[in-house]
Chain A
Amino acid sequence: AQSVTQLGSHVSVSEGALVLLRCNYSSSVPPYLFWYVQYPNQGLQLLLKYTTGATLVKGINGFEAEFKKSETSFHLTKPSAHMSDAAEYFCAVSVPDKIIFGKGTRLHILP
């Protein structure tokens, strides 16, 4: 069965520090993977996606994620956190006819 696990429901980093949000997936077919961000009182916005090809994927707002098949992971990173990055982040895996979302990680930025 396909599933997505996000480690840590809350992550706090200092402004300017590295952001690392962890995502592991389980899929019986080659995975298509997504990261979405949700700001307060808004819907989800696509940050980046991996389908095929290059395993390091760059997204909006300076975020990137690396697909590691051997580790079944798709962790999201950003070299330097900004206050505006405070939001909830969702990892998702695409299966036929459906996208399965993780439970989300709320990112807090400390001044």
Chain B
Amino acid sequence: GAGVSQSPSNKVTEKGKDVELRCDPISGHTALYWYRQSLGQGLEFLIYFQGNSAPDKSGLPSDRFSAERTGGSVSTLTIQRTQQEDSAVYLCASSLSGTGRNQPQHFGDGTRLSIL
């Protein structure tokens, strides 16, 4: 498809388990972003990848959260030892270039994560 693809669309897991969320950006987009959207809240920035540069991890809420981007394309967000407060929708976005301020971000439909 032409858009940003995220999988799974829904994930239910038990507290304490690890989860992996996947994002496949638009082909040719060098910038990739992860956000967290909790109920009634806005978008919380988590991490940003731009090309081969070191990622901006300034938004990761704890060391249980990590992300990688392999080959400048697909990205995986990993949450270790999940807690109930991790329940949220995790959104991925990509843009043509993160350094171009006029470049809009294109969003996937998100992964709805529920921690029991």
Contact = CB atoms under 8 A, between A and B. Distances in A.
Nearest to B50: A97
Query: DSSP majority for the A interface?
Result: strand
Contacts of A44: 43, 91, 93, 105, 107
Query: DSSP majority for the B interface?
Result: loop
Contacts of B99: 96-97
Nearest to B92: A43
B104 A49 contact: yes
Contact of A94 (B50, B101, B106, B110): B101
Contacts of A46: 104-106
A42 interface: yes
Contacts of B25: none
Given A42-B109, A43-B109, A44-B107, A97 B42 contact: no
B42 A101 contact: yes
A38 to B, nearest CB: 8
A45 B106 CA distance: 7
Q: Which 7 interchain pairs have the tightest Cβ spacing?
A: A43-B107, A103-B42, A51-B102, A101-B43, A94-B101, A44-B107, A46-B104
Interface of B: 4, 33, 40-43, 45, 48, 50, 56, 91, 93, 98-99, 101-102, 104-110, 112
